[in-house]
Amino acid sequence: MPPNNSPVPDGSTDLQPEYVAETIGNVSLKGKELAMTTAERLINEGMMMGRNEGVYSEKYQTIMRLSKLNLKPEDIAEGAGLTPEKVKEVLAAGDKGLDLLIGDNATKQ
């Protein structure tokens, strides 16, 4: 471990996939492959989370736009692909409505 007791050479708290792979790779080739597989999985999960947040952001913006047109929650729900109850919750939450959508599995099944 570097003298600054940080798990990465530059002293930051973020583990870079290359650093993890190199460190584990020093132990074995199989360890390096495992580290890269894990890093790739984590990167893919992060990308998926970002896409999901984008979808919920669009739903939130749609709800807010349609509510300004004085549409009923039932009609807004149709346009946003949510339940009327969820639309009402988002409208009641105001600025925290996006957090509500991201935190819940809000889409209609």
Going from N- to C-terminal start, the domains of the chain cover 17-103
Crossing angle between the packed helical segments 73-80 and 29-68, to the nearest 10 degrees: 140
Phi, psi torsion values for 16, nearest 5 degrees? -85, 140
- Ordered DSSP codes for 26-95: TT-HHHHHHHHHHHHHHHHHHHHHHHHHHHHHHHHHHHHHHHHTT--HHHHHHHHTB-HHHHHHHHHHGG
Going from the first residue of the chain to its last (109 residues), give the mean pLDDT of each consecutive group of 10, the final group possibly shorter: 51 71 68 73 81 87 95 94 95 92 60
pLDDT confidence of residue 65: 94
What's the pTM? 0.55
pLDDT confidence of residue 26: 66
